[in-house]
């Protein structure tokens, strides 16, 4: 798709046009959120500085191609058909150069490193394609340049997972905080922090939505939400005292009131075995 074939067919002029160029750019999730000006460099065919892209030496003028009389195509008869082909002498341009420019061999272009600044708007996503017109390969002998396409790859983030305009963040919450409630601080994609109230009796996997704290939305001023998912953490490496306290706690709390889910589960287990026993 990004070869010369992209411009295939059409007029003599089009067949001389430069090819489009694809450039792959990795950005972070923060950069996708904020947008940025990316400095990119790549090597491509640019307009020859000696002849300013004309392909002819200073003072020389292009003349009509004698093989195709300036049409860029040659015709010949084969049986009943007239076959038309791109002229081999002028390459379809319809003109030839009497004194070709030496540095570019008359092509009007040269291979060179190109440095560009490309604006990446806020809210771009994986696979977003940014088109920069006329920054692809230069065309032959001053024909139009191709376009540059910047393909974006958003790198995975350590803390955040993008879900469209929303951002999911799984936050570990201490078992005791989950049980008796509390408040936690979470980082946000804009580089600040937000407070989240953890209600009494929070369960693992429970989600809390922070309105307007998600990704920016392309071409709008809006923002998605941030979703906090509770990852209730079981304490490890207990001291003797802690262990004793938890054992004491376990002795105190046995029943439906403290663990309705467990009770419900074990009730189903009982029914299961009762049914087998029948
Ligand atoms: Zn030149
Ligand atoms: Zn010709």
Distance (Å) from CA 81 to ligand 2 centroid: 21
Mean per-residue pLDDT, 77-82: 86
Mean per-residue pLDDT, 23-47: 97
| Predicted local confidence at residue 7, as pLDDT | 37
Q: Same structural domain for residues 231 and 250?
A: no
Q: Same structural domain for residues 133 and 170?
A: no
pLDDT tens per residue across span 82-95: 888 888 888 788 88
Tokens 């061999």, residue?
Answer: 105
Q: Same structural domain for residues 230 and 246?
A: no
Ligand in nearest proximity to the CA of 108: 1
Q: Same structural domain for residues 33 and 120?
A: yes
What's the angle, vertex CA 87, arms to CA 85 and CA 88, rounded to 5?
Answer: 115
User: Which CATH number goes with the domain that contains 215?
Assistant: 2.60.260.20
Ligand in nearest proximity to the CA of 12: 2
245: in domain? yes
Q: Same structural domain for residues 133 and 163?
A: no
29: in domain? yes
| Number of separate domains in the chain | 3
89: in domain? no
172: in domain? yes
- Give all strands of the β-sheet with 226-233 in edge-to-edge order: 161-163, 166-174, 226-233, 207-210
pLDDT tens per residue across span 48-70: 999 989 888 877 777 888 889 98
86: in domain? no
Q: Same structural domain for residues 11 and 114?
A: yes
Q: Same structural domain for residues 199 and 141?
A: no
37: in domain? yes
Alpha-carbon distance of 232 to 81, in angstroms, equals 79
Distance (Å) from CA 159 to ligand 2 centroid: 62
Q: Same structural domain for residues 56 and 102?
A: yes
**Domain final position from 107, 123, 154:** 154
Q: Same structural domain for residues 201 and 227?
A: yes
Q: State which residues have CB under 5 angstroms from ligand 1, the bound ion.
A: 48, 50-51, 101, 104
Residues 6+ positions from 175 with CB-CB distance below 8 Å: 232, 233, 234, 235
Distance (Å) from CA 131 to ligand 1 centroid: 27
Question: Would you say residue 9 has pLDDT above 60?
Answer: no
Distance (Å) from CA 135 to ligand 1 centroid: 19
Predicted structure pTM score: 0.77
**Domain final position from 114, 134, 154:** 154
What's the chain's length in residues? 278
Phi, psi of 105 (to 5 degrees): 60, 25
Distance (Å) from CA 41 to ligand 1 centroid: 22
Range of 226's domain? 157-236
Q: Same structural domain for residues 212 and 107?
A: no
Distance (Å) from CA 86 to ligand 2 centroid: 8
Mean per-residue pLDDT, 240-268: 86
How many other CB atoms sit within 10 Å of the CB of residue 66?
Answer: 10
Residue pair 268/209 in contact (Cβ under 8 Å)? The answer is no
Distance (Å) from CA 110 to ligand 1 centroid: 8
Alpha-carbon distance of 109 to 54, in angstroms, equals 9
Q: Same structural domain for residues 251 and 124?
A: no
How many other CB atoms sit within 10 Å of the CB of residue 257?
Answer: 8
72: in domain? no
Ligand in nearest proximity to the CA of 46: 1
Q: Same structural domain for residues 185 and 146?
A: no
* β partners of residue 113: 43
pLDDT band for 79, please (50, 70, 90 cuts).
confident
Distance (Å) from CA 84 to ligand 2 centroid: 12
219: in domain? yes
Alpha-carbon distance of 119 to 211, in angstroms, equals 28
pLDDT tens per residue across span 139-192: 988 889 999 999 999 999 999 999 999 999 999 999 999 999 999 999 999 999
């Amino acid at each position: 798709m990004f070869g010369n074939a992209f411009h295939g067919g059409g007029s003599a002029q089009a067949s001389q046009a430069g090819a489009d160029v694809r450039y792959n750019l990795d950005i972070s999730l923060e950069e996708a959120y904020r947008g940025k000006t990316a400095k990119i460099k790549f090597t491509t065919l640019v307009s020859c500085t000696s002849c300013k892209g004309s392909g002819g030496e200073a003072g020389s003028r292009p003349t009509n191609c004698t093989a195709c009389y300036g049409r860029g195509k040659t015709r010949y008869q084969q049986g009943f058909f007239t076959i038309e082909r791109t002229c081999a002498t002028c390459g379809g341009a319809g003109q030839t150069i009497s004194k070709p420019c030496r540095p570019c061999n008359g092509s009007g272009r040269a291979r060179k490193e190109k440095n560009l600044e490309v604006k990446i708007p806020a809210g771009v996503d994986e696979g977003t394609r940014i088109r920069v017109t006329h920054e692809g390969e230069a065309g032959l002998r001053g024909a139009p340049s191709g376009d540059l396409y910047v393909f974006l790859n958003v790198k995975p983030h350590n803390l955040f997972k993008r879900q469209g305009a929303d951002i999911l963040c799984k936050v570990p919450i201490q078992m005791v905080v989950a049980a008796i409630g509390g408040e936690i601080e979470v980082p946000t994609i804009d580089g600040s922090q937000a407070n989240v109230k953890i209600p009494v009796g929070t369960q693992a996997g429970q989600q809390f939505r922070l309105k307007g704290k998600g990704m920016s939305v392309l071409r709008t001023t809006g923002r998605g939400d941030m979703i906090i998912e509770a990852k209730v953490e079981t304490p490890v490496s207990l001291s003797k005292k802690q262990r004793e306290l938890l054992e004491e706690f376990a002795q105190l709390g046995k029943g439906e009131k403290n663990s309705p889910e467990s009770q419900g589960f074990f009730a189903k287990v009982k029914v299961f075995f009762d049914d087998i026993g029948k």
